[in-house]
Chain A
Amino acid sequence: MVAVTLWGSLAAVAGGKDKLDIEAKDIRELFRKLAEQYPGFEPFIDRGIAVAIDGTIYRDTWSKKLPEGAEIFLLPRLAGG
């Protein structure tokens, strides 16, 4: 079980909750379960969600493990210049 913190817009589609407990071993499973529990997540996942694990931001490595007790923070996928 990992505790996941959502940014504002994402919290809105999770019924206003900005923290969720999800049973997920990696980012792929996290996204799948979030989409199952909150269908409003899907367009955000399509647009791109970055996952900060203990402060390090992962944008594409969906196989990245979510260690027990790690701080998991979801952020929008950003553009660079």
Chain B
Amino acid sequence: MNFDPRLTNRDFTSVGTRPIRPDGIDKVTGRARYGADFNMAGQLVGRVLRSPHAHAVIRKIDTSKAEALPGVKAVITAADLPDLTNGDSALYDILDNCMARKKALYDGHAVAAVAAIDARTARQALKLIEIDYEVLPHVTDVDEAFKHTAPLINEAIFTEGLEEKPVKPSNVHKRTQYGHGDIHKGFAEADFVIERSFRTEQTHQGYIEPHACVASVSADGTAELWVCTQGHFVYRQHCAQLLGMEASKLRVTSSEIGGGFGGKTHVWAEPVALALSRKAGRPVKLVMTRDEVFRASGPTSATSIDVRIGAKKDGTITAAEATLRYSCGPYAGMWAEVGAMTAFACYKLDNVRTVGFEVLVNRPKTAAYRAPSAPMAAFAVESTIDELAGKVGMDAVDFRIKNAAQEGTRASYGPVYGPIGIGPTLEAVKNHPHMKAPLKQNQGRGMACGFWFNFGGQTCVDLNIGMDGSISLAVGTVDVGGSRASLSLVAAEELGIDYSQVKAIVADTSSLGYNDMTDGSRGTFSSSMATISAARNAIRILRERAAQMWDIPVDDVVWEKGHALARGEKYGNLSPLSLKEIAAQSGTTGGPIAGHSELVADGAGVSFATHICDIEVDPETGSTRVLRYTVVQDAGKAVHPTYVEGQYQGGAAQGIGWALNEEYIYGKDGRLQNAGFLDYRIPVCSDLPMIDTQILEIPNPNHPYGVRGVGETSIVPPLAAIANAVSNAVGVRMTHIPMSPPRILAALEASASAHDA
């Protein structure tokens, strides 16, 4: 990578402004094309048959009657998706999850699929598929699955990470541990110790757009896939591997995306659609219903977390430990490990230990959900921190400021921090008018901190300059939150031209080099770095062309504010050449002008946020209402502040739903009871106050403009901030998320009973 990504001080012209997003009008007028809006001539309707059992051996599948139904063009089972994973266990799990092979592992697990001429025929065909199941005992609760007496989900799983290799399989895939110092010594030094256990229930990302795709496999073995995804290059890779294709023969085009939040980083239906199309010889459209999205895509973990923190009378934390059990669905994962890494990342701790356990359950395969695993760990830790502050007799914000990590602090997950923003977010919260606003009866205020790593990754950008001087910017990271506007601003900034001259698109997989997904808050961080690099490459060519036009050495040409300037008194009579003037002559100065960039954007800066929440609780019904909510977060540099604020507000809104209402509810039969938005209630506009935001800009030294990722951290503090607010409102420590009305009432009644006794 011949590109220096280090921060350079500069004054910005375009970056930091708030123009209208290029995809905005199409989205509000309904013209934008989402996953289900693409159609092909002769396309069939795909439908998936799903297991009604939480755990069952598939003894036999008879598809003959379905295949004989007029209008059915293909029926597939696992036999049509043979194992081509070559020992890659993670890829095998994806394959098995797309289509169950020997066992159905959760309610909703795909077991067969059909392609037919219309939806009615496809539904009829599903009913004609006969499956002989041997129903097995199941376990859906994370604590129950952890017990050695629980039904065993995968006999090949022997717990990794133990000192002695276990002799028996279990539902615990892995134990991991992080920390440093001596917690026994630290707790011995503590004047106060708080120890609590917490639970969070499983939630879904709740994206409005279901998974949708159209797959078309040609007779020559090439294929096209139009799909709603956070990463079309990764989808191409997975689909090509699972179907035994060369990646270059599968062209994947990403649609607009109606939300992903981590849930669309993973293939679910796409290999099935391709396999159906391959068998039918016609395009196949496969759109999940909402019921299927809940039952068979990738929600986050349910968790069970024990926390213990000790502090001296002066408020110094002396030791902290947490044990975290996270459900993974029926496959191996590393969700508890991430929780263990992030749990205490906000604090300066001499003695800290976290232990994570990955627990298999008969639920859908866990997928990432916005700062995956961090919100639950933060809920447990920040609740305990709040309680400990009260015990010490310190204000909750001051207690956190006293113990906040800073540059040079050894993070609880290992390395030493560079420049970080937890301290500034806490100071901003301490001085925020929200903290001083009066509260009424039955109202409470809570605050909490959150951390996320942020990632970079492989990134590729093409910047083409038209003969009219307009710029086509082709990027490979899917735009989930306004990145086309942000990247256009960056191109305009670097080239010194107006934002309106730049048009950004998300290119398909055959038009651009490989890009990692839009995950890990990397979209704007990574693609802006590649855009800057591509623009600088284009500027080099623009200078060369200007030098040709002037017939002077290129070293005497500089680029400023969108113009080539001849440097030196001897060129005093040469007027600057604008980008448009140089582009207009490109046909005779060497052909098209473009800048390309292929790089690995590493060095994403870690991110911190602190949130404040005011809530009112009705003590008779347990119902809650968020009255006021404030997000303070470090963005490094806000390229488009409106969309940074949108990310902050979106994370807070999702966190409010998670904290107060959302949960997967399973019956004793292991079936999901609330697979729809009526029974799984996400917040709507009328549930929420205007969410206030404050952007802090502590530049990331590893990005030319100082950009950090902003997409995920905003969902980390809400569970804890809201739990602290509810606890302060009702005078009872809330330890179970979501704090739904029945759960709040139960906590109040339990507290009253304890007092009576």
Contacts and interface: CB of A to CB of B under 8 A. Distances in A.
B418 A79 contact: no
Interface in B693-714: 702, 712
B520 A55 contact: no
Contacts of A76: 334, 337
Q: Determine chain B's interface SS by DSSP, over half rule.
A: loop
A56 B414 contact: no
Given A76-B337, A81-B368, A7 B178 contact: yes
Interface stretch (B183-191, B214-222, B244-252, B450-458): B450-458
A56 B90 CA distance: 27
A79 B334 contact: yes
A81 B454 CA distance: 10
Nearest to A61: B602
A80 B519 contact: yes
Given A12-B161, A60-B458, A52 B414 contact: yes
Given A8-B176, A59-B456, A80-B521, A75 B371 contact: no
Contacts of A5: 414
Interface string B451-469: 0011111100000000000
B500 to A, nearest CB: 32
Interface residues of B, number: 46
B378 to A, nearest CB: 14
B372 A79 contact: yes
Contacts of B178: 7-8
A55 B606 CA distance: 10
B712 A60 contact: no
Kindly state the interface size class of chain A when it binds its partner: 20 to 34
A69 to B, nearest CB: 13
Contacts of A79: 262, 265, 334, 338, 368, 372, 519-520
Contact of B415 (A9, A47, A55): A55
Contacts of A7: 176, 178, 414
Interface of B: 1, 90, 160-161, 174, 176-178, 205, 261-262, 265, 334, 337-338, 341, 368-372, 411, 413-418, 453-458, 519-522, 600, 602-606, 702, 712
Task: Give the top 6 A-B pairs by smallest Cβ distance, nearest first.
Answer: A80-B520, A81-B262, A52-B415, A81-B368, A80-B519, A73-B415
11 contacts: A47-B90, A54-B418, A55-B417, A56-B702, A58-B603, A59-B457, A75-B341, A78-B520, A79-B262, A80-B368, A80-B521
Interface of A: 5, 7-9, 12, 47, 52, 54-61, 63-64, 71, 73, 75-76, 78-81
Given A61-B602, A71-B415, 14 more contacts: A7-B178, A55-B415, A56-B602, A56-B702, A57-B415, A57-B604, A57-B606, A78-B453, A78-B455, A79-B265, A80-B368, A80-B522, A81-B265, A81-B368
